[in-house]
Amino acid sequence: MIEGTEPFVDDACAALVQWLTTRTLEGRAQWEMHPNGLISHLAGSMFAQFITHATPQGQVWRLFRVRDNNGELLRTAAPASTTDTTPLSVAVEALFLTIVWAGPQFLH
């Protein structure tokens, strides 16, 4: 499993999330809404998942992970503050907002 903790690892994880964002925008990664999050089944047995919760301001993500048959490829928690601007946190936030704001066209 990869956790975004070091600059090189963080950049590699961010690149994976950016790839997933591109696939989402192209309509090639469809997301399903569940009571506690969002999930997208990718190639083969791979899937991406947001664990979310509702706040007065709307739905926010607490955890993002990508898994396949071999286990977790990526796992990251939501930043503790809005000043966290690592490449990974920025990429995951952009993916989440793409899905949530674009709404129905990416959700099934």
Rounded mean pLDDT, 60-68? 93
More confident residue, 105 or 30: 30
Nearest CA to 1 out of 70, 49, 53 is that of 70
Q: Write the CA distances from 84 to 79, 80, 106, 108, integer angstroms.
A: 6, 7, 27, 31
**Mean of the per-residue pLDDT values of the chain:** 84
Q: Write the CA distances from 50 to 7, 33, 62, 82, integer angstroms.
A: 23, 10, 7, 18
Give the global pTM.
0.84
Model confidence at 104, pLDDT cuts 50, 70, 90, reads low
The strand pair at 71-77 and 2-3 is best described as parallel
Terminal Cα-to-Cα distance of the chain (whole angstroms): 28
| Domain edges within the chain | 2-102
Angstrom distance (rounded) from CA 24 to CA 19: 9
Report whether pLDDT(2) > 90. no
Cα torsion for 82, 88, 93, 95, to the nearest 10°? 170
Rounded mean pLDDT, 6-11? 64
Report whether pLDDT(5) > 70. no
Angle, helices 7-25/87-102, rounded to nearest 10 degrees: 20
More confident residue, 35 or 83: 35
26-50, pLDDT tens digit by residue? 888 889 988 889 999 987 889 999 9
